[in-house]
Chains A and B, each alone.
Chain A
Amino acid sequence: MRNDLASVQAFLASVIPGRAPIPDDPALAETAARFVTGNARLTPAAQVDIYRRQFWYRHREILNDDFPALARLLGEAKMDAFCRDFLDAHPPAHAPFRKMIEPVPSFAATWPGFETDAGRTFAADMARYEIAMLDVRAGADAPPLDPQKLAGLPEDAWERARIVLHPAARRLVFSYPVHRLRKAWLVAGEPAILPEAPSPAHIVLYRNRELVTHFEELEPEAFTLFGLLDEGVPLVPALGRLAEPLPEAQQQHVAAHVGRWFQQWTALGLVVDVDLPSSS
């Protein structure tokens, strides 16, 4: 067997994410002894096993830190099982932890450890929300909107102007109001219980000017409009696209409320610029 650097590293990387103690596996213990010396107190396999245990403790801690509400819902033993299964399915391949946790929502959506589909749906929603919390906290900065810029816009500008939204803001749709429940569990200390029935929610998660993360619940139409603006569609055409498929009554609702929505988004710091392309 080769004993160069790459072979040593390949062996250790193959056993460090393992679940079972390396000394318990005679074949692994024998291979460990080819690469690792051991000492008077520890066999080679026992030395390697220190790194296997550290791997587990470290990644369990990261997952618990990044998904505190999911951890509360599951409880310690079940969260451990979730973390073990997740790390088996998605061993971290990259240095940034943000990359490691990316598949947590999709993994939660199919994890057999939940008794029901509702549990899986809820957990996936919560995991998506908890990742969004991290992203909003460390998302890109943008200088606040210059009020003069809005005041100075010509009448027809809303046909063409691209409304620039805060780059750290995230739009999220949930089957369950995980944003409220997470706050209730972690801030108010309420018991973490899966709600009996779904209750869909549309939210924008954003950072205020003091860099504190907040959620804002939006009506479904407002949420769609926000998404169109985020894609760069100017306000007037965006409103056209929003209204087109809606029944008459809802169209009137949108027309009556759009001014207030826009004011609110501006007040919350979600609108950071208005980009008026120079007319050619």
Chain B
Amino acid sequence: MTAPDRMRLGLPDLGIGVGLRLPHYEEIFETRPKVGWLEIISENFLVPGGVPLANLDRALAHYPVIQHGVSLSIGGTTPLDFDFLKNLRALLRRTKSPWVSDHLCWTGIATLNTHDLLPLPYTTDVVRHVAARARIVQDTLEVPLALENVSSYLTYTSSEMTEWDFFRAVVEEANCAVLLDVNNIYVSSQNHGFDPNVYVDAIPAERVVQIHLAGHTNYGDYIIDTHSGPVIDPVWDLYRRAIRRVGPVSTLIEWDEDIPPLATLLAEAERARIVREEALSHAK
């Protein structure tokens, strides 16, 4: 068992948060619901000024804000975009986000950005490639980088190990943090036929600084990570299992498609709070 002060790499537990999404801005700013923190998509705020940054400042006046990115492409084979990293670092100075997250994936090549989060082949070469880039990113941004596992809809013939062995190897070699998306584990486990519990149990517990919970869309032959709808029961079970392993870790409800009234999102956050409490008391 890891010593408690080494958990979360020493980063704070912010409790339960929700993603800050446009349809909820006014209600959040006016009613200031009791949530522990807000997550923003960094790229939406990499603008010169105006409405987005004014809204961000309103959020920052009342909540801790954590930056979550979608375009780092840590597994890409084109050079890292240092202009992007510089802008990200400037935004980090504004938000004072104690860590910054993005996905363990690739998003495109020099001539095409898919704006999607594509999985990587799970090989030792790719571990080395990604870890080297993650170290550079972490040094450039000057805050811990948390890498998040993505949902995937394909697997590669070249993979030599399981996704969880790959994930562990990358974060250990890069010495970076983990954003554990338990919905993504569930989605990928259904798409590829593995036991999601084995995945949760294999994650280096002390590196987990944040957890994502979300809904998804089941198309029968495959499941897509749409961030739509409530969290389903098997995902709550995985969350309980994760919390028992990693302890009190900042947890976020992601809801990006068919965005519901704020009250529905807050009810989901409240459910996460209760589930987390219960899981923590059972872990003792």
Contact = CB atoms under 8 A, between A and B. Distances in A.
Interface of A: 3-6, 8-10, 12-13, 16-17, 33-37, 39-42, 44, 46-48, 50-51, 54-55, 58-59, 62, 91-97, 100, 136-141, 167-168, 207, 211
Contacts, number: 134
Nearest to B49: A141
A47 B153 contact: yes
A202 to B, nearest CB: 23
Contact of B112 (A34, A46, A92): A92
Given A13-B109, A95-B84, A140-B50, 14 more contacts: A3-B158, A8-B156, A16-B114, A37-B155, A39-B191, A39-B192, A46-B221, A48-B154, A50-B154, A91-B112, A95-B73, A95-B113, A96-B46, A138-B47
Contacts of A35: 156-158
Nearest to A40: B193
B76 A9 contact: yes
Nearest to B120: A5
B26 interface: no
A41 B153 contact: no
Nearest to A17: B112
Contacts of B50: 136-141, 168, 207, 211
Given A4-B125, A41-B222, A138-B48, A12 B118 contact: yes
**Nearest 8 pairs of A and B residues by beta carbon:** A141-B49, A95-B71, A47-B154, A138-B47, A140-B48, A50-B153, A138-B50, A6-B77
A207 to B, nearest CB: 6
B51 A13 contact: no
A174 B193 CA distance: 57
A39 B126 contact: no
A140 B54 CA distance: 11
Contacts of B52: 137-138
Interface of B: 43, 46-54, 71, 73, 75-77, 81, 84, 106-116, 118, 120-121, 123, 125-126, 129, 153-158, 191-193, 221-222, 224
A139 B48 contact: yes
Contacts of B224: 50, 54
- Pick the most buried of B46, B71, B114: most chain A CB atoms within 10 A of its CB: B114
Contact of A138 (B49, B75, B112, B157): B49
Contact of B118 (A17, A51, A91, A93): A51
Contact of A13 (B111, B154, B191, B193): B111
A37 B47 CA distance: 41
B54 A92 contact: no
Contacts of B153: 47, 50-51
Contacts of B76: 9
Given A95-B107, A139-B48, A42 B222 contact: yes
Nearest to B193: A39
B184 to A, nearest CB: 15
A91 B222 CA distance: 27
Contacts of B71: 95
Given A55-B114, A139-B48, A36 B157 contact: yes
Contacts of B156: 8, 35-37
Centre residue among A12, A59, A62 by max chain B CB count within 10 A: A12
19 contacts: A35-B158, A36-B157, A37-B155, A39-B192, A39-B193, A42-B222, A44-B154, A55-B115, A58-B115, A92-B113, A92-B114, A93-B113, A95-B81, A95-B113, A96-B43, A138-B48, A138-B50, A140-B50, A168-B48
A16 B222 contact: no
B82 to A, nearest CB: 13
A211 B51 contact: yes
A50 B117 CA distance: 12
B233 to A, nearest CB: 23
B48 A16 contact: no
A37 B154 CA distance: 7
A135 to B, nearest CB: 9
Residue of A3, A35, A138 with most partner-chain B CB within 10 A = A138
A9 B222 contact: no
A51 B152 CA distance: 10
B114 A138 contact: no
A100 B111 CA distance: 12
Contacts of A96: 43, 46
Contacts of A17: 112, 114
